[in-house]
Structure formats: structure tokens, C-alpha cells
Copies of this chain bind each other. A is one copy, B any other.
Amino acid sequence: MSLTDSSPAQIANAASVASRNLAILPRADRNDALDAIHQSLLQAKESILNANARDLSLAIKAAEDGQLSQSVLKRLDLGRPGKWEDMLQGILDVRDLEDPLGKVTLKTLLDDGLILERIACPIGVLLIIFEARPEVIANIAALAIKSGNAAILKGGKESTASFHAISSAISAALTTTAVPNAAIQLVTTRDVIASLLECDKHIDLVIPRGSNELVRYVKASTRIPVLGHADGLCHIYIHADADPESCVRILLDSKLGYPAACNSVETLLIHQEALESHLPTIASQLLEKGCSLRCDSASKDSLLSSLPADKSALLQDAVEEDYDTEFLSPILAIKTVTAPDNADDGMALSLAVAHINAHSSHHTDAILTSSASVARQFQASVDSACVFWNTSTRMADGMRFGFGTEVGISTNKIHARGPVGLEGLCIYKYAVSGCGQVATDYGGSTGKKWKHERLGID
């Protein structure tokens, strides 16, 4: 790992060259490097926490002057209980994940002595841009090394001292390992992001880790593929036959578990026949916990007639814009799904799905219903990375999915979608091994015939 002030083009080129060496290191060498990083960070604990305290005191001043939010302060603080330990444990967790490289995912006998294999390999060079959280450096360096990718890391200015201290420790560790120096480069030059985003010849994937604004800026500023999501506008649709008690529990978790998270629910769609049976308890509990409810007229009218006056008074009117807003705070938009008279049950589902496909950010959308066939229809029809049935939208998470650690959550339609684990940092190559076969020998009426026999994979 090197702290560099080279030009963006030099950085990208060095990363590209180093990526080729890192790509062919055996698993043991990559795991040894993670052990060395873990050990080195342990030893440097005091100096890193001191550096972090310096970042923090500058940030507190900036916050007092109103130039920095309290949430950034919180994210910056490596001294919070458990945070340091989690950072170190995270490196060992990544080490212990299954090796994503070298897996053969397809093997075909094209002809006698001519074998095709599809083999998992690293993507190449990653550019990771993050903001205040200093522990992301260690986490991402570990993920990159484990997956055989070179990485260029650019941190936010609030965490400069922490960033330097952590990267010095990582850098010292790597000099004792087989991982090439330029495989992990920490960029400390200011205002270099725009130039790095132009290096599409050498950088293969950009991963922004931070605010929606950062992700939007990155997506709008580069031709390099970007893995991530700018928005998390998630929906829950309550069908008329949903279990009322589950609905309450799931809504409380999805909306109030961590309102600032991308997998929190923002819009509740509710079947007209569930207005009286389901909505009052949900609304009552959400209001009690300080959540604002922005209701369409049908849901508001219904709640006005069922809630006590002190709660009714809190209800707000929804405007169209609310259904396109990621509140990231304790606010829930509510919309009634009203099928025309005499329409069959499928019509309400179709209306809910149509609203979701038009307004969702395609991150996570859920249905609550006791009907398996309605749920399957919803899961097939909603065009989102995560489609849930009778569970909280907050389940959309790499750790909860069992992926170990998470690179991010992607709302892209290609490559990797939803919570992305190590697999999302890999691609494949096709190896064909023969003994002199040539294309002109095959095909036509007189040529050799292809065997195309699927072979078992060891």
C-alpha cells in the first residue's frame, strides 16, 4: 500500500500493472497479507486513535460552526464502543470467506482434446471513493486483496489524519507480503476525483461509499461502470389478506429501525379493504413513536374516523411529490390502492405493482399477504433488486443475506444487483485448451462436428 501524490494517470497505470500480479497470487498469499494488516493495525492502535481524535476535534469545531452535521461526527469517531474491534474483526472475517477466484463455473468438451473452461477472476482495478468513515479503508483494502483486485482509495477530507495513520499501518504491513505495493494506493492529493474518473482505460469499476449526493455525482461524472445506489425509495404493499399483527411489526421495523438507511421503507401502499382492519394499529403505533404520516385522502378519512383525536390531529396530507421522496427520516407516505368496483383481486395487486415499478428506486420492495400465489406474482412482477414477502425491507443487507461482508447495495440492472459480496468484485475469463485444432476444420457439410458436451466440474 502506498500513500501517493502521483498524477491520476500515473496512479491508474500503476494500479493496472500491479493488478496483474495481484490477480495471480495464490489464496495463501492474499490471506497472509490480511493477517499482516490485522497485526499491524493492532500494534498501531494508539497512534491511529490519536490521529482520529485530531480529526474529531477539528470536526467538532466545524460542527459547532454549523459546517458539519452531527451524523458525520458520529461516523468519523473510531473511538465509539466496538468500532475499532469491529474494524479489526472485519479483516479476519474477509480472510475467512471462501476464495472467489479460480472457480470453474462452466466446462465443455468442444471436441476431443479441446476443452472450454469459464474461470472466475478479478475485475482488475477498483476506484473506491468514500467520505467520513475511516474504517472503510481497512474494510475495502481487505476486500480488494481477497478478491485479487488492485484498489485506489480516496477518502474524505474530514478523516485525513485517521486515513494517514491507518494507511501507514497497512502500508508497513504489506511490505512484508507478496502483495505488490501499487496494488493498494491511498490518494491524498486534493481535488483528484474528477481526473481519476476519467481514467477509464485503467480503472474498471468505481465504488462510491457515502451520501446520495456523492453517488449521484460519481454516476454523472464517469464512463467507468459504477457499482452502488443513489436512492433507496422502498415500498411495502399491504394486501387485504395480510396478517395484521405482522404488518405492525414489519412496518415499525422497516420505518423506524434505522430511518436513515437506504433499505428503510418510504411509502406504504395499502389495499382499500385493509384500511379499517389493518391501518389504525399501524398508524397509531408509528405516530406514538414520533413518525409523521403523509396520507392520501382515502387513508386519512379512514384514520380520522378510527384514531383518537390527539392522534388524528397529527395526520398530514400527502402531495404527489411525497411518493417520489426518499425521506431518510421518520416520515411515511401512505397511499390507498383502490381497485374499481367488480374488479377481481388481481387488479389491486396490479395497481400496487404498477405504482412500485413507476416510483421505486428498484432497491427493495415488499408485499405483506397470506397468499403464496399473490406473493409470487408480486415478486415476479416488481422490477427491483430485492422483492420481499412478509418480512422487513431492512433485511436487504449483505450480512443478513449471509454474504459475510458487503461491498455495497447495487441498483444497477447488470453485473451485480442488490447486496454485493465478494462475487461482485469478480468476473470470468474463457480458457480454451487444445492440441492444434483450428476453426476452418469445423462446420459445413464436410467439416468436423462440435461435441459440445457439458463436463462435470471438480
Contact = CB atoms under 8 A, between A and B. Distances in A.
Interface in A200-243: 204-205, 219-220, 223, 225, 243
Interface stretch (A161-169, A292-300, A393-401): A393-401
A105 B297 CA distance: 43
Contacts of A416: 414
A260 interface: no
Contact of A388 (B353, B412, B432): B432
Contacts of A428: 417
Copies in the complex: 2
A254 B387 CA distance: 47
Interface stretch (A47-55, A267-275, A329-337, A375-383): A375-383
A114 B385 CA distance: 18
Contacts of A385: 429-430
Interface in A346-405: 353, 357, 375, 377, 379-381, 383-392, 394-397, 400-402
Contacts of A290: none
Contact of A108 (B219, B245, B402): B402
Contacts of A220: 223
A387 B431 contact: yes
Given A387-B429, A402-B110, A414-B123, A437 B20 contact: no
Nearest to A442: B400
A395 B432 contact: yes
A429 B384 contact: yes
A283 to B, nearest CB: 18
B205 A380 contact: no
A24 B381 contact: yes
A427 interface: yes
Interface residues of A, number: 76
B124 A383 contact: yes
Interface string A418-435: 110000000111111111
B434 A430 contact: no
A61 interface: no
Contacts of A434: 388-391, 395
A246 B440 CA distance: 14
Interface of A: 19-20, 23-24, 108, 110, 114, 116, 119, 121, 123-124, 204-205, 219-220, 223, 225, 243, 245-246, 249-250, 252-254, 257, 353, 357, 375, 377, 379-381, 383-392, 394-397, 400-402, 412-419, 427-440, 442, 450, 452
24 contacts: A20-B381, A116-B402, A123-B413, A220-B223, A225-B413, A243-B436, A245-B436, A246-B436, A249-B436, A257-B438, A386-B432, A388-B433, A390-B436, A391-B433, A391-B435, A392-B437, A394-B438, A394-B440, A395-B432, A395-B434, A396-B432, A397-B439, A414-B414, A418-B430
